[in-house]
Amino acid sequence: MSLYTETTDGSFIDRKDSTLVWNYQYADPDFGSCQAKELLDDLESVLANELVTVKSGHDIVEVKPQGVNKGLVAERLLETMQQKGTAPDFVLCIGDDRSDQNMFEVVMSAVASSSLSPVAEVFACTVRQKPSKAKYYLEDTTEILRMLQGLASGSEHSAKHVSISPQRIIIEKE
């Protein structure tokens, strides 16, 4: 990835907790796409016998451990909460790419199972990604903020000490 970053202006490597991502969103679109295909082929060849998954996405090439996905994390989180007797009564799940679909599937199937409170409100929202397993669609981050502000405002009417300000909202894209 370092070699491709050096030879592709506008590209960079994003090191996350469980993934390594080569991002070329700021590179020349044609050259970046060509480099991404080459990198994908190189990585698939070099890492063929490793327990990792190599895939391409919108302006990225990603390497991550096999079996690790957002759906698995959501499932374990819900299971842990249920085991502790704290089944959630509100779930907000937002994602913007194909890797979020298994997370939406887990959250939406939890609605039909007993892993959530019987009165649970569940909002699975996809951003700029259609079709999706999420029930709701948001156009962009502006709509995400507007929705969160609406939720905060609604919460203020039903609870005395709820305070969510736009300055404290963190949106992280993975």
Query: What are the residue ranges of CATH 3.30.70 in the chain?
Result: 2-65
The pLDDT confidence band at residue 166, using thresholds 50, 70 and 90, is: very low
Torsion sign, CA atoms 83, 84, 86, 91: negative
pLDDT in tens, 68-126: 888 888 999 888 888 888 888 888 999 988 778 899 999 888 887 767 777 888 889 99
CB 115 within 8 Å of CB 82: yes
How far is it, in rounded angstroms, from Cα 169 to Cα 149? Answer: 10
Q: Which residue has the higher pLDDT, 167 or 58?
A: 58
78, two tokens? 């819900």
Assign domain 2-65 one CATH number from 3.40.50, 1.10.600, 1.10.3470, 3.30.70. Answer: 3.30.70
Question: Of 58, 52, 62, whose CA–CA distance to 96 is shortest?
Answer: 58
pLDDT score at 38:
97
Partnered with residue 124 across adjacent β-strands are 93
d(CA 45, CA 59): 20
Give the range with max mean pLDDT: 48-52, 115-119, 161-165.
48-52
Q: Beta partners for 123?
A: 92
Contact between residue 136 and residue 124 where contact means Cβ atoms under 8 Å apart: yes
- Which CATH number is 70-168's, of 1.10.10, 3.40.50, 3.30.70, 3.30.1330? 3.40.50
pTM: 0.62
Neighbours of 43 (CB within 10 A): 22
**Peptide linkage before 131 cis (omega within 30 of 0):** yes
Give me 149's structure tokens. Answer: 């502000």
CA 39 – CA 49 distance, rounded (Å): 17
Residue 156 pLDDT level (bands cut at 50, 70, 90): low
Q: CATH 3.40.50 region(s) of the chain?
A: 70-168
Judge whether residue 169 has pLDDT over 60: no
